[in-house]
Amino acid sequence: MIGAALASGRHRPGLVATTVTLMAVLALCLGGCTVITGGVTHYTPAPAALQEKADCLATSYWNEPLMTAPPDVADKMGSVPQGFVPVDVVECSPGQRIFRQVSTEPAWASILEQHFSGDYGPLLAALAEQSERQNGGNCVAMAETIPDLWLVNAAGRAAHVEWPHDACNFSKPGVRKALEALKVTSSKSIDVRPPDAVESFTPAPARILAGANCMTTAHWYEGAGLADPSAKDMGSIPEGFDPVSAVECTAFGENFTDAKGTWRTITEKRLTGDMAVLVKTLRETSDKAVGPLVCEASLEIIPDLWLVDAEGKAIHVQWPQTACHKSKPGTKEMLARMHVVKIKVLKAVLQETPRPKTLPSAASTRTAP
């Protein structure tokens, strides 16, 4: 599947900052983008205030042009309070934004709320690391998107904690690494939008077929990549269908060459894991526009996804999508956390052999007298 939309998020700028594309920021920052030339001091922020509950809507300032926390949010954030024992961890990440044609303000935005369980010791150790500030130094002109993070105790009280950062305001790596080691126990997309922007709907149930078939993904290599007739079988998860595994089919991988020629390929991944959480994510509604909306002309490759039950029967499930036909937050994150039991590269479409060009003969190019 292919769609287009605009992604956005709160970002922490360096001391010298410019606005950059989110994916470029992530790629470069993961490679290391801090340059520190001034004197560095270390400090620990004041403890975060205990609040009644974790609230991902406190991140709605992500939709403002500067994407910085207002005082009523920032003043309550801080380090982990002494003696605070979490029983739940909540991460709030930015999703897509869709714009009205008559305004630059977003008509639709979303926040991905994920809850994590597991050994919180490494996460608490990473959050206890001191932050840095520098005096009169220079930093690379980049920015970094940092999800908001909440810790919740047994009484339901929550602390909105700050990520430790280096002297150029980029997050230290320990928190991301600790979160990756935890298990996602639930995930949902929270809509932030005016009531007249889009409508929600649930596609018709998918047809239950004899088995998963990644070769239906080959239609992406045909013409403009429009859905082939097998798309009529796609849809939402039928009531009573109980999947035990998933099959992900992705086009546009590396070509494969054999004695017959060069093939365009499809990568088939068979996945197992927490199917209950994946099913819950896939049951979220999709959106369609009410009136004209502007979508960013960017490309997203959404893998075809099949769910398979204990008898081997399968459904070709449709991802929950935004009004701009991009995937809503949640499904990709859940698939990334599942266990890959088998990978197979399928030869999908044999490319035509380029014909050698021939130059016209001297006789055919001679000018008539």
What are the domain boundaries of the chain?
2-192, 198-350
Degrees to nearest 5, angle at CA 327 with 324 and 329: 120
Helix, strand, coil % over all residues of the chain, rounded to 5? 20, 35, 45
Measured CA to CA, the distance from residue 133 to residue 41 in angstroms comes to 5
pLDDT class of 284 with cuts at 50, 70, 90: very high
pLDDT at 22 over 70: no
Looking at the predicted structure, is the pLDDT value of residue 27 above 50?
no
pLDDT grade for 5, boundaries at 50, 70 and 90: very low
Is residue 288 within 8 A of residue 358, CB to CB? The reply is: no
Rounded distance between C-alpha atoms, residue 95 and residue 290, angstroms: 20
Q: Tell me the CA distances in angstroms from 111 to 62, 226, 276, 309, 350, one per residue in order.
A: 9, 29, 21, 31, 42
Question: Is residue 246 scored above 90 in pLDDT?
Answer: yes
User: For residue 89, what are the CA distances in angstroms to 66, 85, 165, 180, 316?
Assistant: 27, 11, 19, 12, 33
State the pLDDT confidence band at 83, using cuts at 50, 70 and 90. very high
Q: Which residue has the higher pLDDT, 120 or 33?
A: 120
More confident residue, 352 or 163: 163
User: Over 80: is that where the pLDDT of 343 sits?
Assistant: yes
Q: Is the pLDDT of residue 223 over 80?
A: no
How does strand 106-117 pair with strand 11-13?
unpaired
**Section 243-254 average pLDDT:** 92
- According to the model, what pLDDT value does residue 10 have? 41
- pTM score, two decimals? 0.58
Residues 6+ apart with CB under 8 A from 319: 1, 282, 302, 305, 327, 328, 331
pLDDT at 183: 93
What is the rounded CA–CA span in Å between residue 47 and residue 81?
5
- Tell me the average pLDDT across 233-261: 92
Give 33's DSSP letter. -
Among 86, 277, 60, CA closest to 187: 277
Residue pLDDT, tens place only, 289-318: 777 666 766 778 889 999 999 999 999 999
- Mean pLDDT, the chain, whole residue set: 80
pLDDT at 78 over 70: yes
pLDDT above 90: percentage of residues in the chain: 47
